[in-house]
Amino acid sequence: MGHSAIQPDARRSKTGVELITYSIAMNNNLHQLRCIGCGAVISGAEAKPDFRCVQCGELFEVVYPGWGQRKGLDRPNPGALKWLWRERRCSSEEIDHSGVWRFRELLPILDSFGDVVTLREGNTPLYKLRRAAKALGIDQLYAKHQGMNPTGSFKDTGMTAALSVAKERGFKCVACASTGNTSAAMAAYAARAGLNSLVLIPDGKIAWGKLSQAMDYGSLTCQLKVDFDGCLKLLTEIVKEAPIYLLNSVNPYRLEGQKTPAFEIAEAFDWNVPDHLIVPGGNLGNSSALGKGFRELRDLGLVARLPKISVIQAEGANPLVRSFLDHQATALDPVEAHTRATAIRIGNPASWRKAVRVIQETGGWCLDVTEAEIAIAKAELGREGLGCEPASAVTLAGLKKLRAEGKVASSETVVLLLTGHTLKDADYTIGFHRGTLLEKDETVGYEKEIASLQRNAISVDATVAAVLSALKERVG
Amino acid sequence: MGHSAIQPDARRSKTGVELITYSIAMNNNLHQLRCIGCGAVISGAEAKPDFRCVQCGELFEVVYPGWGQRKGLDRPNPGALKWLWRERRCSSEEIDHSGVWRFRELLPILDSFGDVVTLREGNTPLYKLRRAAKALGIDQLYAKHQGMNPTGSFKDTGMTAALSVAKERGFKCVACASTGNTSAAMAAYAARAGLNSLVLIPDGKIAWGKLSQAMDYGSLTCQLKVDFDGCLKLLTEIVKEAPIYLLNSVNPYRLEGQKTPAFEIAEAFDWNVPDHLIVPGGNLGNSSALGKGFRELRDLGLVARLPKISVIQAEGANPLVRSFLDHQATALDPVEAHTRATAIRIGNPASWRKAVRVIQETGGWCLDVTEAEIAIAKAELGREGLGCEPASAVTLAGLKKLRAEGKVASSETVVLLLTGHTLKDADYTIGFHRGTLLEKDETVGYEKEIASLQRNAISVDATVAAVLSALKERVG
């Protein structure tokens, strides 16, 4: 039987019943690493513990050379893949329940898929946004909600990939510097794999709520008397001296997992990609990964074109926006980041070069939005029944701006990528509705809009008449 | 074509491509309501706004008389259903992506399934618990994680059902008295349906974090100068005077949605049910619903037997345990409830009679666990990478007790039902790991176990040696 042929594969399920699953005869591990700076290509095993190129110091990206050979044995067959990925949704196998590993033919990064570390990430909902579509005069508006992943953020899709690599390579301990979603995801997957995990955080003001998950999943958290960059620098030294696997975003395998929502989106539209995908911009790994995912689909013939991919930053944490304005995106000056959308409060994004490439290649835009615009957009998404963390709401705020500037036509199909669950930042929500979130000068021009969205609890007499009158007054 | 025949059904998907979906020719609405007290049977339309029996004041349950007729036209065909439900996992239709409506032949409660209100609830993960299984000497231990629903709790499965009924019957406003997961779920589904929603809460100490979701989804929250029972009583009066749909747990349609995890569990085990299902016991709607789900599967010939269903309460909120001890479960004395597991802090559970029936019919147990046992079990689940809210952890704590008492054999297949996401109560997690959660007298005998599980952040010098030494000391 030749390569790329689909073959039935009889296995025993956990309940002992014989099942027919399907696989495509391909190697599980076809990847190499290519430096995005100097183009040097190395094998996965040759990567240094800090994942930096020894020649130029830049980051690596995962590449699959076999895919480039038109008649090559390792080039997947698009029709077979579409059928296979769909069928796997009906499978009883744990690996097929993952929205990342369901697409494993496009992530051949492991010697064996036999023991991937999974929490059933991915396969997240694509919600239709009817209210926002109407308000903006757009026919087709959707939200792909990555906050519906197991630990509540998009980071899970990347962690299942990178943790599986760590486990396969025999590491007993993994680590990251993070005070937020990354540490939560790492801790959960490490626990699932039975590995120890280490989180480094800076001294000083820490939002402990965000770290509760890392504790819950059993990470050791070390607080250091240095800033965040100092934590990252020390961790880079640590992984060079001890067998600890680095899981910050320099790790190129995380992006391999994070590219899979592109596959899910393409599949949901029957392999006709939407016109425009809008993504929050923090460390820029996500936009890079999604761009890579769509590019691979196109190069393999699964889709005909790329969607425009636009990146939205918060006004107070907009180094990429400035890079486009000041340097035509050829250089990036780090900024001191200030925004209440903590998940994108990043002044020196690691993956900025990859993101620039994605925006330029797809014809997308890069812009920023204010704190008030973020808060309003979050409340509007809430009104559609979709909670999200503040960073996710920049996508809707950005779309409004793009639409006002005539950059999005009413006939376009637009997908907003929501990155985190509303429960990730309950304090932000409460602050908004109580009116304590924003300063007065931030809300100028938005006072009425904000007031109409606020839903602080009100004290009412315990009578039928009083409650009904409050209801009539507030919601009509 | 006769009833129960599967027929292809050509429809247009959202992208305009013609799709073949499958449906079984059955009526969408086959239900009646039967009083669990006096047995009176009425149609759905005849129910009073407070969902109480006018004759005896008891609750109703949804019944499907057509299923009882062996050769009846409305009795579903088990083989066809299993095939159909599996195929729907590959469907592109929104309704088929719901783990509740995927099983809609067993929830014929609507005149039309055309506009169900869904957030893609259900289809939650069934995780294998390897560590806990080993520690307890049980071969097959799983956790069904209902906290992976869109708003972070099992309530979503019930809300999609009851909200769809509300919408179909033309209500413009829905309401509940709740300070927690119920209000979050109601608010989200109401927003999705474009309906207004009203939450009544008592004056005084409120955990605002829990209400952040209701605000986010746009509910109006009214705080009244009465206790929780007072809120519920007033709401009952309100719904009699105004066209507002009541969504507290007296609403029997919520249980129809909450029974669907039973279908998912049975399907995951290839229609051989596990030996034992362990459920947290608060208001007792969940255990009632799951029992109903398994009973219907058995009566329709989809499974051969019922699993034992055991209910675990917190020691300080154990009215059902006392009912078994003091009254052979024929009467229930309300208690003043005290437990940090807020989701089951309920002294007068609405669905206790239904739950008693389930426990007795299936041969399960009812027991309680202490605050320290809950906290330890939660941390142990965390160590497997499964965060949950404290109430969920009573299941593992209860299993340990049942196992110690010889009531669970090592060969049994056991499923723990986890009800809420860890992000629902970050403060509890932080308190446990910092050592501020439990009082000293609560931890007597558990000090070592607790210390070994605590993972409070530690201050460490910013050197490689200091961090590595901390790691070695703490995690080995």
DSSP letters of A71-114? T-TTSPPHHHHHHHHHHHTT---HHHHSTTGGGGGG--BSS-GG
Per-residue model confidence (pLDDT) at position B10: 41
- Smallest CA–CA distance from A175 into chain B, residue: B471
Q: Give residue A401's Cα distance to chain centre.
A: 22
Closest Cβ–Cβ partner in B215, B230, B382 for A218: B382
* Closest by Cα among B398, B363, B383 to B279: B398
Closest Cβ–Cβ partner in A268, A385, A427 for B191: A385
User: What is the Cα–Cα distance from B282 to B313, expressed in whole angstroms?
Assistant: 7
User: What is the Cα–Cα distance from B329 to B355, expressed in whole angstroms?
Assistant: 10
Return the bridge partners of A224, or none: A202, B460
- What percent of chain B has a predicted confidence (pLDDT) above 70? 93
- Asked whether the beta carbons of A89 and A10 are under 8 A apart, the reply is no
B208 contacts chain A (CB < 8 A) = yes
A125 contacts chain B (CB < 8 A) = yes
- Smallest CA–CA distance from B84 into chain A, residue: A90
- Smallest CA–CA distance from B236 into chain A, residue: A464
3-class SS string, A155-200: HHHHHHHHHHHHHHCCCCEEEEECCCHHHHHHHHHHHHHCCEEEEE
User: Within 10 Å of residue A270's Cβ, how many Cβ atoms?
Assistant: 14
Return the bridge partners of B201, or none: B223
- Asked whether the beta carbons of A309 and A448 are under 8 A apart, the reply is no
CA A357 to chain B, closest CA, distance in angstroms equals 29
Closest Cβ–Cβ partner in B456, B457, B470 for A201: B457
B465 contacts chain A (CB < 8 A) = no
- Smallest CA–CA distance from B150 into chain A, residue: A148
- Residues of B within 8 A of A194 (CB-CB) are 130-131
CB contact under 8 A, B125 and A230: no
A456 contacts chain B (CB < 8 A) = yes
Per-residue model confidence (pLDDT) at position B24: 54
CA A212 to chain B, closest CA, distance in angstroms equals 6
CA A27 to chain B, closest CA, distance in angstroms equals 26
Closest Cβ–Cβ partner in B15, B130, B238 for A269: B15
Closest Cβ–Cβ partner in B127, B421, B429 for A215: B429
A215 contacts chain B (CB < 8 A) = yes
User: Within 10 Å of residue B315's Cβ, how many Cβ atoms?
Assistant: 17
Closest Cβ–Cβ partner in A194, A421, A460 for B423: A421
Closest Cβ–Cβ partner in B94, B198, B467 for A222: B467
Tell whether the torsion through CA atoms of A339, A275, A356 and A34 is positive or negative. positive
CA A328 to chain B, closest CA, distance in angstroms equals 37
- Smallest CA–CA distance from A124 into chain B, residue: B120
Q: Is the pTM of this model over 0.90?
A: yes
Long-range (24+ apart) CB contacts under 8 A made by B2-9 are B2/B73, B3/B73, B3/B74, B4/B73, B4/B75, B4/B76, B4/B77, B4/B80, B5/B80, B6/B80, B6/B83, B6/B84
- Asked whether the beta carbons of A244 and A274 are under 8 A apart, the reply is no
Per-residue model confidence (pLDDT) at position B476: 67
Give the model's confidence band at B27: pLDDT under 50 very low, under 70 low, under 90 confident, else very high.
low
B147 contacts chain A (CB < 8 A) = no
CA B196 to chain A, closest CA, distance in angstroms equals 7
- Smallest CA–CA distance from A189 into chain B, residue: B385
Closest Cβ–Cβ partner in A86, A222, A379 for B458: A222
- Residues of B within 8 A of A230 (CB-CB) are 462
Closest Cβ–Cβ partner in A212, A231, A429 for B215: A429
* Closest by Cα among B343, B346, B338, B294 to B320: B346
CB contact under 8 A, B125 and A127: no
Interface of A with B in 249-268 (CB under 8 A): 268
Burial-class residue B434 by CB neighbours within 10 Å (0-12, 13-18, 19+): middle
CA A427 to chain B, closest CA, distance in angstroms equals 7
User: What is the Cα–Cα distance from A128 to A345, expressed in whole angstroms?
Assistant: 28
Residue B204: pLDDT over 90: no
- Asked whether the beta carbons of A163 and A189 are under 8 A apart, the reply is yes
Q: What are the tokens at A174?
A: 């993994």
Residue with tokens 């077979």: A80
CB contact under 8 A, B459 and A203: yes
Block means of pLDDT (10 residues each) for chain A, 476 residues, are 40 41 62 96 96 95 87 80 93 94 96 93 97 97 98 98 97 94 97 97 77 95 91 96 96 97 97 97 95 96 97 98 97 96 93 95 98 98 97 98 97 98 95 96 97 94 96 84
CB contact under 8 A, A429 and B270: no
- Smallest CA–CA distance from B217 into chain A, residue: A382
CB contact under 8 A, A215 and B433: yes
Residue with tokens 């990155």: A419
- Residues of A within 8 A of B201 (CB-CB) are 457
- Smallest CA–CA distance from B381 into chain A, residue: A217
Residue B236: pLDDT over 60: yes
Return the bridge partners of A317, or none: A314
User: What is the Cα–Cα distance from B26 to B13, expressed in whole angstroms?
Assistant: 22
CA dihedral of A11, A14, A19, A21, whole degrees rounded to 10: -70
Q: What are the tokens at B159?
A: 């809300």
CA B120 to chain A, closest CA, distance in angstroms equals 7
Selected for mutation to probe chain B from A123, A216, A460 (highest B CB count within 10 Å) is A216
CA B368 to chain A, closest CA, distance in angstroms equals 23
- Asked whether the beta carbons of B378 and B432 are under 8 A apart, the reply is yes
A144 contacts chain B (CB < 8 A) = no
Q: How many residues does chain A have?
A: 476
CB contact under 8 A, A384 and B237: no
Per-residue model confidence (pLDDT) at position B26: 57
Tell whether the torsion through CA atoms of A405, A411, A413 and A415 is positive or negative. positive
CB contact under 8 A, A241 and B150: no
Per-residue model confidence (pLDDT) at position B66: 85
- Asked whether the beta carbons of B450 and B380 are under 8 A apart, the reply is no
Give the DSSP H or E segment for A366.
strand A366-369
B3 contacts chain A (CB < 8 A) = no
CA B462 to chain A, closest CA, distance in angstroms equals 5
Q: Letter for the amino acid at A292?
A: K
Interface predicted TM-score (ipTM) of this complex, two decimals: 0.93
B456 contacts chain A (CB < 8 A) = yes
Give the model's confidence band at B71: pLDDT under 50 very low, under 70 low, under 90 confident, else very high.
low
- Residues of B within 8 A of A379 (CB-CB) are 216, 218
pLDDT by residue (tens digit) across B190-199? 999 999 999 9
CA dihedral of A149, A155, A158, A164, whole degrees rounded to 10: -80
Q: What are the tokens at B312?
A: 């675990």
Within 8 A by CB and 6+ apart from B138, the residues are B132, B403, B408, B410, B412, B414
Q: What are the tokens at A123?
A: 């396969």
Residue B456: pLDDT over 50: yes
A129 contacts chain B (CB < 8 A) = no
Average pLDDT, chain B: 92
Per-residue model confidence (pLDDT) at position A426: 94
Closest Cβ–Cβ partner in B151, B429, B458 for A223: B458
CB contact under 8 A, A387 and B213: yes
CA B128 to chain A, closest CA, distance in angstroms equals 10
Question: What DSSP letter does each residue of A342-360 carry, written as one string?
Answer: GGG--SS-TTHHHHHHHHH
- Asked whether the beta carbons of A247 and A198 are under 8 A apart, the reply is no
SS3 A128: strand
A451 contacts chain B (CB < 8 A) = no
- Strand B60-63 to B32-35 pairing: antiparallel
3-class SS string, chain B: CCCCCEEEEEEECCCCCEEEEEEECCCCECCEEEECCCCCEECHHHCCCCCECCCCCCEEEEECHHHHCCCCCCCCCHHHHHHHHHHHHHCCCHHHHCCCHHHHHHCCECCCHHHCCCCCCCCCCEEECHHHHHHHCCCEEEEEEHHHCCCCECHHHHHHHHHHHHHHCCCCEEEEECCCHHHHHHHHHHHHHCCEEEEEEECCCCCHHHHHHHHHCCCEEEEECCCHHHHHHHHHHHHHHCCCEECCCCCHHHHHHHCHHHHHHHHHCCCCCCCEEEEECCCCHHHHHHHHHHHHHHHCCCCCCCCEEEEEEEHHHCHHHHHHHHHCCCCCCCCCCCCCCHHHCCCCCCCHHHHHHHHHHHCCCEEEECHHHHHHHHHHHHHCCCCCCHHHHHHHHHHHHHHHCCCCCCCCEEEEEECECHHHHHHHHHHHHHCCCCCHHHCCCCHHHHHHHCCCCEEECCCHHHHHHHHHHHHC
Selected for mutation to probe chain A from B220, B224, B378, B432 (highest A CB count within 10 Å) is B220
Per-residue model confidence (pLDDT) at position B12: 41
Per-residue model confidence (pLDDT) at position B11: 44
Per-residue model confidence (pLDDT) at position B18: 40
CA dihedral of B388, B391, B392, B393, whole degrees rounded to 10: 90
- Smallest CA–CA distance from A199 into chain B, residue: B457
Q: What are the tokens at A170?
A: 């025999």
- Strand A41-42 to A32-35 pairing: antiparallel
Q: What are the tokens at B412?
A: 């049994």
Residue with tokens 């000056």: A333
Per-residue model confidence (pLDDT) at position A144: 98
Arithmetic mean of pLDDT, B63-67: 91
Residue with tokens 């047995």: B39
- Asked whether the beta carbons of B158 and B285 are under 8 A apart, the reply is yes
